[in-house]
């Protein structure tokens, strides 16, 4: 197994950075928490994680202000050079706002903050993130968001489908895609066309312990050490 150096970003309002540290440490990796005012990422970073929370209080739009923090310039360059970036929940919102991932995340259709365990289905596992999962596998992962309603236009959706960029969909326990928040095609997670930037609304870092409900998050996050 490859021991990774994982850099986890922290903005004012981020609240999942320590869960993310816990998750990667449990798998034996080095972690750094990187304050958003930093202009550089730690040397030898193998993976950048933009964790969940409510950066800048979700003011204006979720993720819209965090994308202009100094560290994001370094993240953009890192991603453009092929570096791996994973955005979870608010991190996914930030990555779409800055254009590293296509589409946008709107307010949930039912206007509720949805916080519960949710089954999700693996649609494409042929990438650096989900390579330890199998296609059509059903995972039990918590969701907790108000703005998780993924939107992309028809042309963009076609591109995602064609390139295998749809990673995860919300589904019921037998795997049938199910409406959770109004997302186009029930999409829960995607990647960019180069397959080095990943974003998802569910929280794998909250599914690391069987006694806390699920350890399916381990199978998701350990993909990076094998890729």
Partner 1 sequence: MKAIVNVYLKEGVLDPQGKAAHHALGSLGFDNVSDVRIGKQIILTLKATDKAAVEAEVKEMTETLLANTVIEDYSIEISE
How many other CB atoms are there within 10 angstroms of residue 87's CB atom? 28
CA neighbor of 17 nearest in space, from 67, 51, 63, 61: 51
Question: Quick check: 114 binds partner 1 (CB under 8 A)?
Answer: no
Nearer to partner 1, 80 or 153 (CB): 153
Contact region with partner 1 (CB under 8 A), list: 44-52, 101-109, 128-136, 186-194: 101-109
Q: Which two tokens stand for residue 140?
A: 């039990």
CA–centroid distance for 148 within its chain: 11
Contact region with partner 1 (CB under 8 A), list: 5-13, 36-44, 107-115, 164-172: 107-115
Alpha-carbon distances, residue 30 vs 36, 97, 216 (angstroms): 19, 28, 21
Pairing of strands 114-122, 47-50: unpaired
Question: Quick check: 176 binds partner 1 (CB under 8 A)?
Answer: no
Question: Quick check: 214 binds partner 1 (CB under 8 A)?
Answer: no
- Check if 203 is active-site: yes
CA–centroid distance for 140 within its chain: 15
Question: Quick check: 146 binds partner 1 (CB under 8 A)?
Answer: no
Smallest gap, in angstroms, from Cβ of residue 151 to partner 1?
A: 6
Residues 109 and 149 sit within 8 Å (Cβ to Cβ) = yes
> What string marks each residue from 4 to 43 as x (binds partner 1 by CB under 8 A) or -?
----------------------------------------
Count, residues near partner 1 per rule CB under 8 A: 18
- Near partner 1 by CB under 8 A: residue from 15, 32, 42, 64: 64
Q: In the chain, where do the E strands start and end?
A: 5-10, 30-35, 47-50, 84-88, 104-106, 114-122, 138-145, 149-151, 166-170, 187-191, 197-200
* Ramachandran class of 56: left when φ > 0, alpha when ψ lies in -120 to 50, beta otherwise: left
- Check if 89 is active-site: yes
- Near partner 1 by CB under 8 A: residue from 10, 31, 96, 125: 96
Q: Please identify which of the residues 29, 36, 89, 145 carries the catalytic annotation.
A: 89
Interaction site with partner 1 (CB under 8 A):
60-61, 64-65, 68, 96-97, 103-104, 106-111, 149, 151, 182
Catalytic residue IDs: 89, 203, 205
């Amino acid at each position: 197994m490859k021991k990774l150096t994982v850099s986890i970003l922290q903005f004012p309002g981020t609240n999942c950075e320590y869960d993310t540290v816990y998750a990667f440490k449990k798998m034996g990796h080095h972690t750094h928490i990187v304050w958003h005012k930093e202009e550089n990422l730690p040397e030898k970073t193998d993976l950048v994680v933009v964790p969940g929370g409510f950066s800048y209080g979700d003011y204006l739009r979720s993720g819209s202000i965090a994308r202009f923090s100094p560290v994001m310039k370094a993240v953009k360059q890192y991603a453009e050079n092929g570096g791996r970036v994973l955005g979870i929940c608010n991190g996914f919102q930030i990555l779409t706002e800055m254009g590293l991932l296509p589409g946008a995340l709107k307010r949930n259709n039912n206007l509720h903050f949805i916080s519960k365990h949710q089954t999700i289905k693996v649609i494409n596992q042929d990438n650096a993130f989900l390579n330890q999962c199998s296609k059509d596998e059903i995972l039990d992962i918590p969701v907790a968001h108000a703005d998780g309603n993924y939107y992309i236009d028809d042309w963009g959706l076609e591109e995602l489908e064609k390139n295998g960029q749809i990673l995860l969909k919300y589904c019921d326990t037998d795997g049938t895609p199910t409406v959770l928040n109004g997302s186009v095609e029930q999409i829960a997670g995607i990647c960019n066309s180069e397959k080095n930037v990943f974003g998802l609304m569910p929280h794998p870092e909250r599914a690391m312990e069987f006694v806390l409900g699920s350890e399916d998050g381990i199978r998701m996050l350990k993909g990076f050490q094998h890729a």
